[in-house]
Structure 1
Amino acid sequence: MTTSAALTVRVVTSLEEFKGLACEWERLLRTVPGHSFFVTWEWLYYWAKHYLRGNQLKILFVFDDRKRLIGIAPFYLRMTSVYGLISVRELRLLGSETVCSSYLDFIVNEQHKPAVLRGLYEYLFGEARKTWDVLTLSELAAESSTLDLWNELFDEAGKVGEVVGTSCCPVIRLPGDVDTYHAGLGRNRRYTLQRKTKCLQRAGRMEYARITSPREIDAAFESLVSLHQRRWGTRANGGVFADDVSRRFHREVVQVLSERGRVSLDLLTLDGRPIAAIYGFVYGETYYFYLPGFDPTAVPKASPGLLLLHHRIEQAIREGMTTVDLLQGAQPYKLEWSTGRQSLVTVRYYNRHARAVALKLGEGVKQAIKILVR
């Protein structure tokens, strides 16, 4: 399909085709400063491989008049129901369910973004208008220019869009050296960390280990799974690794990313036995703190999970990272460690279809009428 701006949109609908696009994807990402780990080809391809199931891949590749790739809209189409009666076709960003991806977005640099977004808009409401009912852009950074540009296009056409969710990611802005970081912790926190460290040392031989080698990563991952489930497995949701699909997804992601130096599994052991673990990603100048696990029965007064997080922050500073991103969730321990927060927004847009009206009727009759009238 060719848009009015002489842009061409190509639709990728198969995993096999998606698999072959890794190089093009990465080449385009290199032109987008500040993008997050969660829009990398590896994360989204393996998410699609394990979680797409009966849903349909709908990745939109945008090319300019010289056939150069300048934008990607990584969508998939899923069916959702309204009151169990009416099926609604919802376009969503890949990675936006189950795995807590953050900072999802279109992949396009700022220079090309206005033209690319207009091209995508024209395609979705032109050639593709009969194929979807609702478009949900999940977990975008609140400061992303995508939101303003996309909303302008909808306002210009008199169409309906709304914010349906917000969340935040506490972050730690790192100084250039560990001494400065320690000074910034304050006397009380430094004393608490020293006291907990001595408590754990009295219990046995404590050691920190960082596992990045593909040969060792599987064993470390199993330690993480065991520790995470030991802490959260009794909760209502059963923990992240309660189902086989999640285990397979993360196991494969960890193995693939270890070969590229993008994953880090950190362990705290007591007398050789892992008692705390952190699963994180290293990308650009950011360390992403993705998932912790710890044994709640192992010297709880020493807070081994807290000690391991402190150690991992120190390591990030030594590795030249500028940010530790604690990712989604305003848990008290994250807020205590953070020096700032980054807001995420989820926005929903409606097509002019009866199915979209049915969805909106569940949320407000007035807005539903606006969809039909405009």
Structure 2
Amino acid sequence: MSNVIELNNIDELKDYRADWNRLLAVSPGGSFFQSPDWLEVYWRHFSEKQYLRVFVVRNADEITGVVPLCVRRITTKFGPCSILTFPFDDWGSVYGPISADPEATLTTVLDDVLQSRRDWDLIDLRCVDRDHFDGGATERAFQSLQMPFEIFPWNETMYINLDQTWENYLATRPRKARQTYLRAERKVAEDGEIEFLRYRPKGEAYGDADPRWDLYEQCLQVAGNSWQAASTDGTTLTHEKVAGFFRDSYESAVRAGAMDLNLISLSGRPAAFSFNYYHNGRLDGLKMGFDAQVSRNGLGRLLLGRMIHDSMDRGDLLLDMGCGAQDAKKYWYTSVEKGYRYVNYATTSPVGQVLKLSHQVAGWFRNRFSSSEESETSDVPQRALQETRH
């Protein structure tokens, strides 16, 4: 018999940290983004206008699953709306229950949500990789409770299979990809002596949690001299809105043994960097940047190639390259996985029902007048729910 404990205060997570991390180690596709360490930092910086609802599932005397959710107030073209969703904001590519059995855990939690006081208009679960790590668990959970839902495309994630040798991987790349990478190795070396440094501390549990702020500052220096310095999207290392979050999450990842920092220097001058989160052989790409003032001969390609090569030598398994910029990543990735959004509309919510009708009508027009390929990849709900924090 399962029972559910709901946590609404971020400080309450500490009592479940050990079980949470134990479950994360056996969760399909588990990543640092799903850890209590990441959530605590995220919540400290971005909890405004959100209400935390973390569900802990217990069977007998054992905790078997955790589903972090939050209620977020957004605005739509039909008025204010509250969604019950993952506390994630698309910082990574994939999210889901923390459990060895995601389907059973999510089913139990959704059942508990339905029986509690409703504070949402939509249940809106995003970044669900139905055909990959999720394996259809989210869909089956909705179906088992007879909860009607709509499913929409949300993102596309590019992966590199690291469970192979560098030689085999490079041999499968297009000829142009091999040529441009090898050219970068030659040409960048003409600009200075190349040093590749990878810093992946094991964490506090192993007495290895020096944040190496000197390396972090070098990455900031590179970011400040790159395109990121002029970016206004609020997601770059140096942007004032998120600089504190990146710094705090970096320190938290180091303590947890989840930080993977890569740095290229030319004759001692920082030239290119990459931040990844590391968990159980999986790398989640976070941020990359290079200083074109140091070299214009392919620093980004050089860094990525060195990082992939080193990962394969270390025995890493998978690199999540993230979503977007697919053309720039086309020579590197080995597979592309689609992410989806599952939406359940509260039957007693007027705005929820209006949004449901809007999505259905938009979907009908899309299917009626678009090709089947366009139908699969269009993002109707993004247009219907133009979100801003309210």
TM-score > 0.5 by shorter chain: yes
Return closer, same or farther for 1:48/1:339 CA change in 2, 3 Å cut-off: same
Write the letter of the residue equivalent to 1:119: T
Q: State the match for 2:316 in structure 1.
A: 321
The TM-score with structure 1 as length reference comes to 0.85
Q: State the match for 1:72 in structure 2.
A: 66
The Cα RMSD (Å) is 2.5
* Counterpart among 85, 89, 103 of residue 113 in structure 1: 103
Fraction of identical pairs, as percent: 21
Return closer, same or farther for 1:327/1:200 CA change in 2, 3 Å cut-off: same
C-alpha displacement of 1:361: 5.4
Q: Is 1:20 equivalent to 2:18 in the alignment? A: no
Q: Is 1:93 equivalent to 2:86 in the alignment? A: yes
The CA distance in 2 between the partners of 1:269 and 1:35, in whole Å, is: 32
C-alpha displacement of 1:28: 2.3
Q: State the match for 2:180 in structure 1.
A: 192
Write the letter of the residue equivalent to 2:168: T
The CA distance in 2 between the partners of 1:365 and 1:268, in whole Å, is: 51
Write the letter of the residue equivalent to 1:293: G
Q: State the match for 1:32 in structure 2.
A: 27
The CA distance in 2 between the partners of 1:358 and 1:53, in whole Å, is: 26
Q: Is 1:53 equivalent to 2:48 in the alignment? A: yes
Please give the per-residue CA displacement for 1:158-180, whole angstroms capped at 9, x wherever unaligned: x3x22244211111113543333
The CA distance in 2 between the partners of 1:164 and 1:296, in whole Å, is: 39
Moved more, 189-198 or 263-272: 189-198
Q: State the match for 1:372 in structure 2.
A: none
Return closer, same or farther for 1:239/1:42 CA change in 2, 3 Å cut-off: closer
Q: Is 1:102 equivalent to 2:67 in the alignment? A: no
The CA distance in 1 between the partners of 2:290 and 2:113, in whole Å, is: 46
Return closer, same or farther for 1:17/1:175 CA change in 2, 3 Å cut-off: closer
Q: Is 1:153 equivalent to 2:141 in the alignment? A: no
Write the letter of the residue equivalent to 1:270: L
Write the letter of the residue equivalent to 1:317: M
* Contact in 2 for aligned 1:218/1:255 (Cα 8 Å): no
C-alpha displacement of 1:332: 1.6
* Contact in 2 for aligned 1:136/1:347 (Cα 8 Å): yes
* Contact in 2 for aligned 1:217/1:255 (Cα 8 Å): no
Q: State the match for 1:10 in structure 2.
A: 5
* Counterpart among 107, 124, 128 of residue 113 in structure 2: 124
C-alpha displacement of 1:23: 0.9
Return closer, same or farther for 1:204/1:260 CA change in 2, 3 Å cut-off: same
Please give the per-residue CA displacement for 1:94-142, whole angstroms capped at 9, x wherever unaligned: 21x1x522220012223x733x3333232222223x2221111110112
Question: Tell me, what secondary structure is at the counterpart of 2:323?
Answer: coil
Return closer, same or farther for 1:142/1:18 CA change in 2, 3 Å cut-off: same
Alignment of 1:272-291 (within 5 A): 272-291=268-287
The TM-score with structure 2 as length reference comes to 0.81
C-alpha displacement of 1:283: 1.4
The CA distance in 1 between the partners of 2:163 and 2:111, in whole Å, is: 45
* Contact in 2 for aligned 1:285/1:321 (Cα 8 Å): yes
Return closer, same or farther for 1:176/1:357 CA change in 2, 3 Å cut-off: closer
Write the letter of the residue equivalent to 1:78: R
Gaps of 5+ in 1: 1-5, 368-374
Question: Tell me, what secondary structure is at the counterpart of 1:269?
Answer: strand
* Contact in 2 for aligned 1:232/1:239 (Cα 8 Å): no
Please give the per-residue CA displacement for 1:16-43, whole angstroms capped at 9, x wherever unaligned: 1023321121122234344233212222
Alignment of 1:256-295 (within 5 A): 256-295=252-291
Question: Tell me, what secondary structure is at the counterpart of 2:48?
Answer: coil
* Contact in 1 for aligned 2:155/2:323 (Cα 8 Å): yes
The CA distance in 1 between the partners of 2:155 and 2:124, in whole Å, is: 15
* Contact in 2 for aligned 1:80/1:87 (Cα 8 Å): yes
- Alignment: residue pair count: 351
Please give the per-residue CA displacement for 1:68-114, whole angstroms capped at 9, x wherever unaligned: 2122221011112233x74322111121x1x522220012223x733
Return closer, same or farther for 1:215/1:264 CA change in 2, 3 Å cut-off: same
Q: Is 1:133 equivalent to 2:115 in the alignment? A: no
Q: Is 1:166 equivalent to 2:154 in the alignment? A: yes
Write the letter of the residue equivalent to 1:233: A
Write the letter of the residue equivalent to 1:336: Y
Question: Tell me, what secondary structure is at the counterpart of 1:90?
Answer: strand
The CA distance in 2 between the partners of 1:91 and 1:208, in whole Å, is: 43
C-alpha displacement of 1:329: 2.0
